[in-house]
Amino acid sequence: MITIRSIDDLKLAKASRVFYRVDYNVPLEGSAISDATRIEATLRTIEQLRGKGASLVVASHLGRPKGERKEEYSLKPVRERLASLTGANVQWSDDCVGADAEAKAAALKPGEILLLENLRFHAAEENNDGAFAAQLRKLADFYVNDAFGASHRAHASIDALPRLFPKENTAGGLLLVKELEFLQKVTNISERPFVALLGGAKIAGKIEPLEALVRLADTILIGGGMANTFLAAQGVAMGGSLVDNESMAVAKRILHAGAKVVLPVDLIVADSLDSPTKIETVEATRGLTVAQKAFDIGPKTIERYASEVKNAKLVFWNGPMGVFEKDEFAKGTKAIARAVADAKATTVVGGGESVEAVNASGFASKITHISTGGGASLEFISGATLPGVEVLRKG
């Protein structure tokens, strides 16, 4: 069992400044935030820290600017939403290090918030650079990490920075503690039957989690583009569908691993994603024609998967069942979201697109825990060591 230092362990004084690393890597449509889940998930920690009289220096990444200042990855839209959600006058620094950031951090009064510009505007962040971490260290007396979604990365603000503080001045926020609590329900299999739902586009990047779930779960239900590859591995003709050919051998290995891996029995197919002229349901075993592409699971598969989820006591879901952004191909994902929400089970949704899908379905409030970290949650389940967690472990 992994236990980390929490904010309750910090000896905060009224003048304490906290470097608060968050994951505000929110989806944007232009400059508008389309889903503020990751910001909302940090509000309890922010409220508790401010309630103790601490001021907060908030730091995050957004997107992949690759060490360059790019306006489309600015955290300015986040500043507006954070101010709205907290009711605070969120101050702003146009850089995360340097004289301006240091001066504004030093001037903070108890309860005040300063948001720094995107950490990844500096290549040193992703390089886990010690000198860059030392510059960030000047901004605060305490360090709190709630960026679970980035905690599988050995980046400067996640790994090098907390090592520059006395251990007793570092902790995980309420969100990070909660993430570990619920994901360990999955890895420790607190309840059975345990049903895992896996979707999304490709197997690549999910190989270790898949193989871990083969060992852990009673049933694994596969959907999305990932299902195309598994079906192809069984010899099913997938037409023009997305197939992850490089992962074909992995798919065959998992299918023969002895676990109960369940694949779609029918599929929603079309001739085009953006401008379909013919949408139909086909039996998976019959295969697809060259002109057909699979974009969702079919009604028989929905019924089968929903039945498995209904009988579960523990459910883990990562990845949509189809191209849920398109109404024509969203029925599978929405139906599974309803099934997971209605299940009399501990339900954990593993971040990424799954969060957007659950929010879009309107069932988010009925899920036991929605993880803010897609890749991080999968790596944790696979048994990988998360740098951002390890540096905060007790003992």
Catalytic residue numbers, as ranges: 38, 202, 352, 375
**Residues 116, 292: Cα–Cα separation, whole Å:** 48
Q: At 163, which amino acid appears?
A: R
Alpha-carbon distances, residue 87 vs 43, 90, 283, 322, 335 (angstroms): 11, 9, 53, 38, 36
CB of 46 closer than 8 Å to CB of 84:
no
* Dihedrals phi, psi of 263, to nearest 5 degrees: -110, 160
Structure tokens given for 87: 């009711």
CB of 123 closer than 8 Å to CB of 66:
yes
Spell out where 119-204 has E strands: 142-145, 170-172, 194-198
Q: Is the link from the previous residue into 193 a cis peptide, with omega within 30 of 0?
A: yes
DSSP character string of 302-354: HHHHHHHHHT-SEEEEES-SS-TTSGGG-HHHHHHHHHHHH-SSEEEE-STHH
**Residues 108, 57: Cα–Cα separation, whole Å:** 9
**Residues 48, 173: Cα–Cα separation, whole Å:** 10
Strands 293-297 and 266-270, sheet pairing: antiparallel
Helix and strand numbers (H, E) in the chain are 15, 17
Structure tokens given for 162: 């907390």
Structure tokens given for 132: 């860059």
Structure tokens given for 193: 């039957």
Tally of residues, the chain = 395
**Residues 174, 307: Cα–Cα separation, whole Å:** 34
Residue 327 contacts by C-beta under 8 Å, 6 or more apart in sequence? none
For helices 374-382 and 207-216, angle between their N-to-C axes, nearest 10 degrees: 50
